[in-house]
Amino acid sequence: MFRLEITPLFKYTFSMLNKNNVKKIIDALIAEYPDAGCELDYGTKYQLLVSVMLSAQTTDASVNKVTPELFAAAPDAKAMAKLTQQELEDCIRSIGLYKNKARNILAMTNMLLEKYSGEVPGDFDSLVSLPGVGRKTANVVLAEAFGQQQIAVDTHVFRLANRIGLTDAKDVLRTELGLQKALPHDLWTIMHHALIIHGRRCCHARKPECGHCPINDICEKNGLQ
């Protein structure tokens, strides 16, 4: 007899909150941060891709300090490919993991030139096939550069989604899948940004400012911490 099995990948990805409370959270966060959006400075799709790669494990503000000089020297893939790794490292030395990031950016750029004529592809599978481009980076690029509804799970989104109760997941992928189930598709991108800003301004990792939080009465944090 055929039996449907739920694979481990999809366990613990569902919201702990009912639909009414999920809607209250969405409404409250969007009202609190109506202008939530990408805080990286860039001019082209390629520059966005590079900026997101640089932002791993560092702040957008730190990235924005190094990219003006970098993009002045290498505004597109052809120009970037002409830089040596040392030259690229010198431009981004002030941000974390700059050696690995320089290596990945040059490898990504060379593949972009070889396979896509230097143009950033607009589909997920092509993006994650590029060196140094993971799910988060691909989702940010698709959302910001191509207008797709995507949920990119960084450290803020992962922490908040599971602290608030929008998901109950132990890793990034399950959190992404859980948020896709919990949130309306047309609000994926804005909620991604709202969660990030809420994490930066209010729901800090160690000392969340619950007294100033617009969703404190709904949040499931007491059951999760």
To the query of whether residue 136 is one of the catalytic residues in this protein, the response is yes
Catalytic residue among 154, 170, 171, 207: 154
Quick check: 149 and 186 in contact, CB under 8 A?
A: yes
Residue 72: both structure tokens together: 């002045």
Q: Which of 136, 170, 186, 207 is catalytic?
A: 136
Residues in CB range of 54: below 8 A, 6 or more apart: 63, 66, 67, 92, 95, 101, 105
User: How far apart (Å, rounded) are the C-alpha atoms in residues 162 and 16?
Assistant: 9
The answer to whether residue 65 is catalytic is: no
Q: Please state, in angstroms and as integers, the Cα–Cα distance from residue 141 to each residue in 75, 99, 183, following that order.
A: 17, 22, 20
**Both tokens assigned to 65:** 């300090």
Residue 66 and residue 88 in contact, taking contact as beta carbons nearer than 8 Å = no
Looking at the annotation, which residues are catalytic? 136, 154
